[in-house]
A and B are shown apart, each in its own frame.
Chain A
């Protein structure tokens, strides 16, 4: 946090070289090394190639050691610790690996809290390493001392404090194991400065693969799988809803095989988005508050609801006492605590869906369910006619967010990673962006963290450097973490920044319009000249206000060799529809504002 203390490690020359070869570093075994070196040794053996961080007083010994490791570990100097952790999340989500974040004690560590909460609710694997004051100063209100362990306990899957260097290898081994296994989540290891400096007899780093009190996966019970298969085989109107569990379990193929054999219409939560290609014939769209019409309405008409790796968030279910009451519910989840948490389950299929889906597929009958599919098609046609067509293909008036997405889809053809922030643009992007492959949609789902988009996009690009990364962000969210343009400038990371500027905090404005008598209370937000801001950060940019320039502007952004900021001025008072108004059931979804 203190500018004067910064020692910046030189940038690593090679990007994402495959690491994880512990042998290179085994020559340290049996020697005396510092706790800080042990931290970096651990990262190397765990195969970490990129760390997002920000130095400061209490983590200086680790940064000092990093100076000698810069050819093995790439460190991305962010502009704010929140940016660091969101970048770590973006990295984890695009790569499927553990994101690693460094921060110093006190304010450095507290700046991680929003990202931890976000990663916790969105099950993102992270290992955050924070510096802490000397052990003998703990509890003395020392400079930059904050009780990080207790502050972060509710928002971490696990955390621990290390006060002796010899504990570091074990603590980090546990941290990585816990973060990436079972239902993944963020882990924080708080290391006191004395432990970082202390030399100890290094016995090597052994990755952890078992903790006796920790069961990453529940035991799969065959009898429940059989019961579930029986329900599916008897169903006339089976409906699959899937979430991020499919992506985290890397079970995309298993999932596809399952729904294809059963002829099962499938809808996704926003975190499940991209697990199934957009144009797959069984993909019937998005669930929830701003989801598609058919999946919401027919949730209350299906006879068997099959939930795969999702947690029945209130934005998905609407009013619980009006949610799928007629249906038998099969719930596949790796986290036993999710069963019955919000929706009562008829048959729980505990386990990793990578294991349980093939077991189910083997037992279900091959079916088509043509009539049932036609119901989805009919409702989709209605939504298309009333909402989608004019949202995606307006010919006059202000530009819509939907048409920007429509043109973007044409140009990316669904191959880009789309990172979004939070708000109207997020809902529009999730509704309309096209995806061909998994791990392509990165958004703050459960927490709804504005400011997530820009730093997460930076991390996503480091996690998947071969892919195009487009960050779609509103004019509110961009201003929350706009300082990360500095990270883009310094690292040269190629991120396409697409600002959909409606000169409002649009989602809140929409609610104020619909539910608060149009009393627009503090949603009228002004923006700086984004192109000038980008220019100041040596990032190329442009702004379009006219429909006829949209396609060429998007093409220029995508084709530019390097980062690019494009601002698109969109309709000021557009609303996202359909919508399940808060407090209503999913089948009470409305298509226009007159129906609210």
Chain B
């Protein structure tokens, strides 16, 4: 399920038995504003929580940005963090999910000496096995790309290490929430609330219970 903070169904958190730290992916829909990255980042650093991965990108809704943040924490802590994030003026909505609630990928690039690649067929097979593809092939080096989960991109590092891996880089995680129906409708709800226009406000008030989760 989508774990929306301020969710409609309020569940006390201390009913959970033996909390454990686990990976959570936090999805934040925001306005595009200078300084907002800092405002969100300091919510973590103030509590000495390390951000494992952070990605910003456009979202499905025009003009709305989407942060994808991965941290390793207790669910209770994550919920509180999300409430603090959603409290920021330019943040529209924050969700947090465990790994089985999302589909996620990371992209990795590997630079390997071309002569070794060319000589050793094994390497090519290796790349096939890892679902990698060549992005650039030059005389001196070749750059491969692969996408997948952390273990998958990391597995290829181990495999390439003996063949002279020159450089490696991996992107932040991007994730899609399985149960999400996107942000278009939500955004309309946010925009519909125009207290200045009486009609719009009355319409909103009339179906207040059904509108947003907050």
A residues whose Cβ falls under 8 Å from a Cβ of B: 149-150, 153-154, 157-161, 178, 209-215, 218-219, 221-222, 224, 335-337, 339-341, 344-348, 350
A154, closest chain B residue (CB): B42
A153 to B46, CA, bound (A): 12
Q: B162 an interface residue at 8 Å Cβ cutoff?
A: no
A445 to B99, CA, bound (A): 41
For the complex, count residues of B whose C-beta is within 8 A of A.
Answer: 37
- Pick the contact of B90 from A161, A213, A346, A350 — CB < 8 Å? A213
Please state if A219 and B214 are interface contacts (CB–CB under 8 Å): yes
A interface footprint on B77-118 (CB within 8 Å = 1, 0 otherwise):
001100110110111100000000000000000000000000
Please state if B89 and A210 are interface contacts (CB–CB under 8 Å): no
- Pick the contact of A215 from B80, B209, B214 — CB < 8 Å? B214
Please state if B6 and A218 are interface contacts (CB–CB under 8 Å): yes
- What are the residues of chain B within 8 A of A335 when measuring CB–CB? 87
A27 to B193, CA, bound (A): 31
Please state if A213 and B35 are interface contacts (CB–CB under 8 Å): no
Jot down 29 A-B pairs with beta carbons below 8 A, ordered by A: A150-B35, A150-B38, A153-B35, A153-B39, A157-B89, A158-B89, A159-B35, A160-B33, A161-B35, A178-B89, A209-B195, A210-B195, A210-B196, A211-B89, A212-B92, A213-B30, A213-B91, A213-B92, A214-B89, A219-B212, A335-B87, A336-B5, A336-B214, A337-B86, A337-B87, A340-B12, A345-B12, A347-B10, A350-B6
A154 to B90, CA, bound (A): 15
A interface footprint on B113-145 (CB within 8 Å = 1, 0 otherwise):
000000000000000000000000000000000
Shortest distance in angstroms between B114's beta carbon and chain A's nearest beta carbon?
41
Q: B34 an interface residue at 8 Å Cβ cutoff?
A: yes
Shortest distance in angstroms between B153's beta carbon and chain A's nearest beta carbon?
33
Please state if B84 and A337 are interface contacts (CB–CB under 8 Å): yes
B212, closest chain A residue (CB): A219
Please state if A340 and B80 are interface contacts (CB–CB under 8 Å): yes
B residues whose Cβ falls under 8 Å from a Cβ of A: 5-6, 10, 12-14, 30-31, 33-35, 38-39, 42, 46, 79-80, 83-84, 86-87, 89-92, 187, 190-191, 193-196, 208-209, 211-212, 214
- What are the residues of chain A within 8 A of B42 when measuring CB–CB? 153-154
In the A-B complex, the 10 residue pairs with the closest CB atoms: A337-B83, A158-B89, A212-B190, A213-B92, A214-B89, A337-B87, A336-B6, A213-B90, A213-B31, A344-B14
- What are the residues of chain B within 8 A of A157 when measuring CB–CB? 89
Shortest distance in angstroms between A294's beta carbon and chain B's nearest beta carbon?
28
Also in contact, A337 and B12, with CB within 8 A (given A149-B35, A213-B92):
no
- What are the residues of chain B within 8 A of A344 when measuring CB–CB? 12-14
Please state if A336 and B83 are interface contacts (CB–CB under 8 Å): yes
A348 to B191, CA, bound (A): 26
- What are the residues of chain A within 8 A of B10 when measuring CB–CB? 224, 347-348
A336, closest chain B residue (CB): B6
Shortest distance in angstroms between B43's beta carbon and chain A's nearest beta carbon?
9
A395 to B97, CA, bound (A): 66
A221 to B14, CA, bound (A): 22
Shortest distance in angstroms between B207's beta carbon and chain A's nearest beta carbon?
11
- What are the residues of chain B within 8 A of A212 when measuring CB–CB? 31, 92, 187, 190-191, 193
A341, closest chain B residue (CB): B80
- What are the residues of chain B within 8 A of A215 when measuring CB–CB? 214
A340, closest chain B residue (CB): B13
- What are the residues of chain A within 8 A of B193 when measuring CB–CB? 210, 212
A335 to B91, CA, bound (A): 15
- What are the residues of chain A within 8 A of B12 when measuring CB–CB? 340, 344-346
Shortest distance in angstroms between B27's beta carbon and chain A's nearest beta carbon?
15
Please state if A213 and B34 are interface contacts (CB–CB under 8 Å): no
Shortest distance in angstroms between B26's beta carbon and chain A's nearest beta carbon?
15
A174, closest chain B residue (CB): B89
- Pick the contact of A213 from B46, B79, B83, B89 — CB < 8 Å? B89
